[in-house]
């Protein structure tokens, strides 16, 4: 079998002809061959934006409360190991390789006890791309990784698992596991080729993670009708931001008290809370969503006020309006759709006034590039445009053409790589200027590599 994690990841990329192939049948059949069932609470987190922040805050808070937490997120920035964490530590290469090997054996038709699976023998995937083995089931890269993560959580006996949806929800691989509580952080236009061309269609897909009789948390004040109708159809219990739970800034004698906020929810009020360590005004929505999930699970996973405070102040997550120390100011943000771009634009506008803003910018070709550019145009003085060397990447010249077609106010310059664009921005930026690196996980990851940065 494959000896290194790099070999395994290269192999996983070759198993299915499509990078994204939504559907639960393949992953469910392989999981049944493993004949395992999680015996710990599961929290599933989906949404257009904010799900990574919610997962990080849940992980930090539950860890502070003393629980052994398994957390599965995607995509990664610098190393695949970031996707699978136990007790806030990334899984090691040997541990991941061992889990991959067990998934591969099950994918090829073996149960953990070594016997051939009757389910496999009846598999509808008896032939795939000329494969003559009737037992093999093709899995995508994400499906394979999802199964390996859950297998590892079971083997390491975690006390709670947090699963981040990869794409959509209803047909995403993590949805084969029934959650004890599911949250959808937000719904906006993204991945329209897979999820639908309207916000209501996308909301329907994301609502697929909710379960009958369980609490369904929605973390945005603007709730699509499809969320409520799907919750009612399946018999879940809807808790929504601005309704069943909410946050507010306390009023002090001298006006708003700085650095604290209050939460109210079905589990009661939590007051004088510290701001999350993650930057951005929208993080209060995410933090409130976290507390609502904890309210829903308080009988299974009680969490003290001290743990909540520690969880909020100790949380870390690279690339979410991450402001690096030093001058000029450098901001890393994985914003890659108009909804996230609006949040980034608001955060940039709220920063103290200074000099020019340089945008180190690259995006994948299947994203709403024009929508992102229009949203951030007013905040950018110079666009340092780079290409992305990936299957869905866009060349710098093509991206520059799109910016010029939008008649952006700032100058547009092209570079072969993000590292080149960042180096030029650093050379030109004065002490009071700022450099915003955004547009994709690929963009932020390359910038971090160029600067020699590690995960926070």
Chain segment 28-68, per-residue pLDDT in tens: 999 999 998 999 999 999 999 999 999 999 999 999 999 99
Return the pLDDT at 142.
95
Give CA–CA dist 215/443, Å, rounded. Answer: 36
- DSSP 8-state class, residue 110: B
Give CA–CA dist 181/292, Å, rounded. Answer: 10
Give CA–CA dist 282/381, Å, rounded. Answer: 25
**Domain residue extents for the chain:** 5-314, 322-451
Residue-wise pLDDT tens digits, 405-418: 999 999 999 999 99
Select from 233, 335, 236, 239 the least CA-distant residue to 280. 335
Return the pLDDT at 194.
76
2 φψ region: left (φ > 0), alpha (ψ -120 to 50), beta (else): beta
Give CA–CA dist 95/22, Å, rounded. Answer: 27
Give CA–CA dist 90/84, Å, rounded. Answer: 6
Q: Number of C-alpha atoms within 13 angstroms, CB side, residue 414?
A: 14
Give CA–CA dist 49/208, Å, rounded. Answer: 17
In whole numbers, what is the pLDDT of the chain averaged over residues?
A: 91
Return the pLDDT at 131.
46
Flag residues of the chain having pLDDT under 50.
Answer: 116-132, 253-257
The arrangement of strands across the sheet holding 357-361 comes to: 322-324, 329-333, 434-438, 357-361, 382-386, 411-415
**What does the angle CA 168 – CA 174 – CA 177 come to, to the nearest 5 degrees?**
130
| Helices H / strands E in the chain, number of each | 16, 19
With H, G, I as helix, E, B as strand and everything else as coil, classify residue 256: strand
Rounded to two decimals, the pTM is 0.91
Residue 97 phi, psi dihedral angles, 5° rounding:
-60, -40
Return the pLDDT at 453.
87
Assign domain 322-451 to its CATH superfamily.
Mur ligase, C-terminal domain (3.90.190.20)
Largest Cα–Cα separation, the chain: 76
**What does the angle CA 392 – CA 398 – CA 402 come to, to the nearest 5 degrees?**
105
Return the pLDDT at 312.
97
Residue 149 phi, psi dihedral angles, 5° rounding:
-65, -45
Q: Do the Cβ atoms of 49 and 184 come closer than 8 Å?
A: no
With H, G, I as helix, E, B as strand and everything else as coil, classify residue 264: strand
Considering only the top CATH level, what class is 5-314?
alpha beta
Report in angstroms the alpha-carbon separations of 300 from 265, 297, 319, 349, 387.
17, 5, 32, 42, 48
Return the pLDDT at 258.
57
Return the pLDDT at 111.
55
The dihedral built from the CA positions of residue 183, 187, 189 and 193, taken in this order, carries a sign that is positive
């Amino acid at each position: 079998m494959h000896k290194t994690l790099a070999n395994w990841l290269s192999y996983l990329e070759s198993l299915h002809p499509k990078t994204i192939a939504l559907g639960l049948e393949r992953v469910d059949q392989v999981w049944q061959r493993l004949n395992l069932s999680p015996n710990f609470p599961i929290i599933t987190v989906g949404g257009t934006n904010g799900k990574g922040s919610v997962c990080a805050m849940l992980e930090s808070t539950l860890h502070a409360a003393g629980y052994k937490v398994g957390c599965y997120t995607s995509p990664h920035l610098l190393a695949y190991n970031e996707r699978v964490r136990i007790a806030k530590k990334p899984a090691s290469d040997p541990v991941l390789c061992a889990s991959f090997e067990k998934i591969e054996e099950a994918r090829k038709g073996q149960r953990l006890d070594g016997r051939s699976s009757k389910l496999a023998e009846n598999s509808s995937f008896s032939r795939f791309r000329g494969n003559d083995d009737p037992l093999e089931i093709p899995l995508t890269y994400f499906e394979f990784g999802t199964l390996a993560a859950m297998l590892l959580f079971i083997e390491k006996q975690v006390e709670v698992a947090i699963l981040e949806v990869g794409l959509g929800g209803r047909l995403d691989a993590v949805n084969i596991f029934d959650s004890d509580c599911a949250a959808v952080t937000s719904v906006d236009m993204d991945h329209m080729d897979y999820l639908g061309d309207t916000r209501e269609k996308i909301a329907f897909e994301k609502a697929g993670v909710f379960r009958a009789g369980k609490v369904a948390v929605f973390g945005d004040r603007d709730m699509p009708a499809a969320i409520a109708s799907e919750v009612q159809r399946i018999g879940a219990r809807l808790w929504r931001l601005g309704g069943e739970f909410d946050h507010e800034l306390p009023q002090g004698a001298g006006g708003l008290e700085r650095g604290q906020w209050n939460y109210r929810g079905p589990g009661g009020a939590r007051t004088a809370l510290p701001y999350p360590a993650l930057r951005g005004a929208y993080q209060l929505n995410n933090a409130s969503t976290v507390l609502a999930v904890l309210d829903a699970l308080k009988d299974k996973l009680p969490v003290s006020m001290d743990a909540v405070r520690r969880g909020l102040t100790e949380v870390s997550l690279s690339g979410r309006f991450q402001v690096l120390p030093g001058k000029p100011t450098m901001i890393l943000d994985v914003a890659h759709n108009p909804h996230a771009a609006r949040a980034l634009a608001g955060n940039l506008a709220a920063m103290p006034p200074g000099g020019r803003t340089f945008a180190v910018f690259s995006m994948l070709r299947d994203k709403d590039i024009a929508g992102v550019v229009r949203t951030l145009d007013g905040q950018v003085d110079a666009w340092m445009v780079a290409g992305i060397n990936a299957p869905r990447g866009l060349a710098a010249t093509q991206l520059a053409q799109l910016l010029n077609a939008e008649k952006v106010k700032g100058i547009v310059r092209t570079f072969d790589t993000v590292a080149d664009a960042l180096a030029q921005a650093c050379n030109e930026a004065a002490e009071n200027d700022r450099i915003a690196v955004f547009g994709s996980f690929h963009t932020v990851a390359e910038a971090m590599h160029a600067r020699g940065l590690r995960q926070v």
